[in-house]
A and B are shown apart, each in its own frame.
Chain A
Amino acid sequence: MDVAHLTLMANQIARNFAVQGDERAAAATAEHITLFWDPRMKAAIRAGGGADLSPIAAAALSRLD
């Protein structure tokens, strides 16, 4: 999967939750990705997503186990 595109998607989700404050936004972003992303998308972004992730998106991904 194109990690750059997945990063864009994750950042976009995070940005829409950002108004809830960092903590809640990270939880909501993590939940959203868990509920709506296919396993290979989750795997790809966790393996390859990095520098370009926004802080909220990065925090969200670190919560995915």
Chain B
Amino acid sequence: MAYEPQADFGTPQVASETRVTLTIDGRSVTVPQGTSLMRAAALTGGSIPKLCASDNLAAFGSCRLCLVEVDGMRGTPASCTTPAAEGMTVHTQTPRLQKLRRGVMELYISDHPLDCLTCSANNDCELQDQAAAVGLRDVRFGYAGENHLGLAADTSNPYFDFDPSKCIACSRCVRACDEVQGTFALTMDGRGFASKISAGQAGDDFLSSECVSCGACVQACPTATLQEKAVKEIGKPERSVITTCAYCGVGCTFRAEMRGEQLVRMVPWKDGKANHGHSCVKGRFAWGYAQHKDRITAPMIRESIDQPWREVSWDEALGFAASRLQSIKAQYGARALGGITSSRCTNEETFLVQKLVRAGFGTNNVDTCARVCHSPTGYGLKTTFGTSAGTQDFDSVEHSDVILVIGANPTDAHPVFASRMKRRLRKGAKLIVIDPRRIDLVRSAHIAAEYHLPLQPGTNVAVLTAMAHVIVTEGLADEAFIRERCDWDEYQDWARFVSDERHSPEVLEAVSRVPAADLRAAARLFATGGNGAIYYGLGVTEHSQGSSTVMAIANLAMATGNVGRPGVGVNPLRGQNNVQGACDMGSFPHELSGYRHISDTATRALFEADWGVTLDPEPGLRIPNMLDAAVDGSFRAIYIQGEDILQSDPNTHHVAAGLKAMDCVIVHDLFLNETANYAHVFLPGSTFLEKTGTFTNAERRIQMVRKVMEPANGMEDWQVTQALANAMGLGWNYTHPSQIMDEVARLTPSFAGVSHARLDEAGSLQWPVNEAHPDGSPIMHEAGFANGKGKFVVTDYVPTDEKTGPRFPLLLTTGRILSHYNVGAQTRRTANTAWHPEDLLEMHPTDAENRGLKSGDWTRLASRTGETTLRLLVTDRVAPGVVYTTFHHPATQANVVTTEFSDWATNCPEYKVTAVQVMASNGPTDWQEDYEALSARSRRIAPEIPAEAAE
């Protein structure tokens, strides 16, 4: 498609059911009541000049360029702020209006540099377009008067510049920051001619201000005042391709705007149903890793991990890998082999990896990184609701009255959804936050949580049970809903259990440290405040009771009747872009795509007939079990696509020992990641910009990923997996990923109606998509649960075995921040490091004082498992007794200290609770230094000298 910016209708769409019909420039148009004249005119194909209006912002009415005449109305009202009314007759182009508009434009231009020909926004500037549209020919005031020309530009943000000399004070940037992003970082100082935009306090530049670099203001700016640096460097885009962000589970869709083979900018797609034209810093700006110098594009092999890597041809690498896999299989049997699928890869790629393992290797030893994040969601929601997925779409939040956020930090981990949630909160919905740490949502611009319950890490089940206690014993349960939709006997069992005095907030306060009065009030609010929606994240799942907590959440939603309509529901905020999809595609060792257990003969028969093989009916090993079995000698080879288990999995020493014990580790990735230090075969991967396929976001929304440039490594990831399969003699012959999706649809009832053609046509689809739901399912369990009846499960609070004591008196909990993504393999290779150059340890002032520590000090963080060093940040965001860090940088090795305790049902590691001690330190630990030396050694690529290959 040739380059055209997306159409801008000037003011937002209005939802009203009532329609009005009016005449604009002789054309009749019918629009929802409340629609502006400007939007109505745009819908008829007309175009009224405008500068301060944009269809993602509320009308403002400041520029006076959009004046119109309305029969029977005096004056010339602004069309952006005048609603259409029945029977109106509107004129948008008359000599009088033209004269008025030219006058307005003259004023703007007299204070604007006239360097259009050399301006980077030339031909991509609304001011220029509108000047042409109003027919400006002359500026009578001259350019000699007082003006803003010559003001210095702010270039502190790594991705965009702010050049105030070009500002026309339309305030679109301020409104975008307030209304769309909800950060309130920008202000318009002064009035009239003296108006000036500034970021934060006087003296702040963009980088040091509250700005989170979402780019909404840049997108909103009609001039070159706020503009991407890349546009300056590369030039105006000439074509665009719609694709989906590869960072987080929000699944924002973008127009990848290209110039030749070069990506110029990512502009959030307004028609994207997950993001509605908004994005965060990662998706919009942090795509530079695709071209980073560390990217490996040629296959490499080595006999053993102490040798340097040898670059070889694809044939040699695949042949080497295949023969090792085959000889291990011959000697030790199929169950000595396994694979890991990636939540960063497409559904099609993930499906192929699990197919390779099950049908090719002949074993069910396949797992995915969801093991370490949302496997408890799968287990918990399947048990209670009958399907392993969130119940709502993101739009649902607009109908919520009470929002309960537990163990999630949406403003950092799911920023675009957080902006939507914040908008709803600003409009009056109430917020309850259950989190050991005072996350940003608790108190931020124009938002304050009604209740923040700062629980002790590891006591989620206790807190939720206490809430249930209040709801049941105070008669606040929605019995009508429960009788109709759930199993009544199971409910009564559960109600009896939670009503026990042992589960009252007063008794459990001793365990959770949540004040009983607050907990009671929060429970009452949730049960009686109208539509109640629960959003949760890894702070729920990554615990020894992760699965129990998910079930406790489901219980709470059912008990209060909050399932099956807009505004309510249980919503896991998925970490990675395609973690939902990876789970859907049968990445778990016990189930085939669509969550069907491997022991189910009928399901197996379906796959066996399609694939022409016999499948092992026994479940395979999960990632931690694979590592145990490797140390034990019964698991010897692994194919890992797009995952860095050494950095992301708990107890790094144990992971390293497991990998080291294997005979064949195949890493398929963009970079020589940490896991590759233990690999024998490296297969270069492709980025999301270089492949076609689909991702499924946290709303179960399946969206297209489209190739915008050729893969630097020569193959898309599904092609690499197919080549490996064929090197093993499997004879696969997919020629396009759409054929893989057709196979998924053929074998998976919930995907029966999905195909690339259907997705192209619909934009996106939310599964299940089948005969009963041909257009997908935005809200689940509307008429009944997938199982028929919702199942209440009694969840007993079982304290974790990880306990504090005199040697390890503090509890460590971990998380992530906005500008980085997970282990940071991608974001660390972009300018996002401007915001988070290293991982810090947060500690409460009292604990810091007791240890004589202050912000910036190097500290030693030790647990029963290991120790590491990092710098301290003293803050009261964390409660006394709790410390917190992120795990974005390999040098920190935060997982050296995390333990192997895990969720009882799924083995999801207990990242969120580790007993630790913290003390002053003067530098890195031996392990950190040894590890760095090992990394440098094992990243050598012959014949280059080591220093160049090392990071």
Contact = CB atoms under 8 A, between A and B. Distances in A.
Interface of A: 1-2, 5, 8-9, 12-13, 15-16, 18-20, 32, 35-41
Given A5-B628, A16-B548, A20-B794, A38 B597 contact: no
Nearest to A18: B796
Interface in B542-569: 544-545, 548
A1 B634 contact: yes
B791 interface: no
A29 to B, nearest CB: 10
14 contacts: A1-B629, A1-B634, A5-B628, A13-B905, A15-B798, A15-B904, A16-B904, A18-B796, A36-B622, A38-B335, A38-B625, A38-B629, A40-B335, A40-B629
A38 B905 contact: no
Interface in B612-665: 618-622, 625, 628-629, 631-632, 634
A42 to B, nearest CB: 9
Contacts of B497: 19
Given A1-B632, A18-B796, A38-B335, A32 B905 contact: yes
Contacts of B634: 1, 40
B245 to A, nearest CB: 33
A16 B335 contact: no
Contacts of A35: 590, 597, 599, 619
A42 B387 CA distance: 27
A33 to B, nearest CB: 10
Contacts of A37: 619, 625
Nearest to A38: B621
Nearest to B591: A35
Contacts of B589: 38
Interface string B825-866: 000000000000000000000000000000000000000000
- With most chain B CB atoms within 10 A of its CB, the pick from A2, A9, A38, A39 is A38
A9 B907 contact: yes
A16 B619 contact: no
B227 interface: no
B365 interface: yes
Contacts of B905: 13, 16, 32, 36
A33 B412 CA distance: 37
Contacts of B599: 35
B590 A13 contact: no
Interface in B654-708: none
Contact of A13 (B621, B629, B631, B904): B904
A16 B548 CA distance: 8
A2 to B, nearest CB: 6
A38 B336 CA distance: 12
Contacts of A15: 798, 904
Given A12-B544, A16-B545, A16-B548, A2 B628 contact: yes
Given A1-B628, A16-B798, A38-B589, 19 more contacts: A5-B900, A8-B801, A9-B904, A16-B545, A16-B796, A16-B904, A19-B796, A35-B590, A35-B597, A36-B590, A36-B905, A37-B619, A38-B335, A38-B620, A38-B621, A38-B629, A40-B335, A40-B629, A41-B621
Contacts of A1: 628-629, 632, 634
B798 to A, nearest CB: 5
A31 B796 CA distance: 19
A45 to B, nearest CB: 12
Contacts, number: 60
B865 to A, nearest CB: 14
A59 B905 CA distance: 18
A40 B589 CA distance: 14
Interface string B874-911: 00000000000000000000000000100011110000
Contacts of B631: 2
A13 B628 CA distance: 18
Contact of B365 (A16, A32, A38): A38
B142 to A, nearest CB: 80
B794 A38 contact: no
A11 to B, nearest CB: 9
Contacts of B625: 37-38, 41
A8 B907 CA distance: 12
Interface string B590-622: 100000010100000000000000000011111
B452 to A, nearest CB: 28
Q: Which of B335, B622, B625 has the most CB of A within 10 A?
A: B625
A41 B794 CA distance: 28
Contacts of B621: 38, 41
A20 B798 CA distance: 13
A16 to B, nearest CB: 5
Interface in B98-113: none
B661 to A, nearest CB: 13
A12 B904 contact: yes
A16 B793 CA distance: 11
B752 to A, nearest CB: 26
A37 B545 CA distance: 18
A56 to B, nearest CB: 13
A39 B900 CA distance: 21
Interface in B268-314: none
Contacts of B798: 12, 15-16
Contacts of B545: 16
A32 B905 CA distance: 8
A50 B900 CA distance: 22
State the 4 A-B residue pairs at the shortest beta-carbon distance, nearest first: A19-B796, A12-B904, A38-B621, A16-B904
Nearest to A1: B632
Contacts of A13: 904-905
A7 to B, nearest CB: 13
Nearest to B906: A36
B932 to A, nearest CB: 29
B590 A19 contact: no
Nearest to A2: B628
A1 B622 CA distance: 13
Contacts of A5: 628, 900
A32 B379 CA distance: 11
A37 B621 CA distance: 7
A62 B628 CA distance: 24
Interface in B422-448: none
Interface string B246-277: 00000000000000000000000000000000
Interface in B904-935: 904-907
B913 to A, nearest CB: 14
A15 B548 CA distance: 12
A26 to B, nearest CB: 15
A16 B550 CA distance: 14
B619 A36 contact: yes
B175 to A, nearest CB: 50
A13 B364 CA distance: 22
Most buried by A among B618, B620, B900, B904: B904
B597 to A, nearest CB: 7
Given A15-B904, A20-B794, A39 B618 contact: yes
A39 B334 CA distance: 13
Contacts of B794: 19-20
Nearest to A19: B796
Nearest to A5: B628
A1 B628 CA distance: 6
Contacts of A19: 497, 794, 796
B335 to A, nearest CB: 7
A4 to B, nearest CB: 11
Nearest to A6: B628
A35 B625 CA distance: 15
B945 to A, nearest CB: 41
Interface in B355-408: 364-365
A19 B793 CA distance: 11
A57 B545 CA distance: 18
Interface string B512-555: 00000000000000000000000000000000110010000000
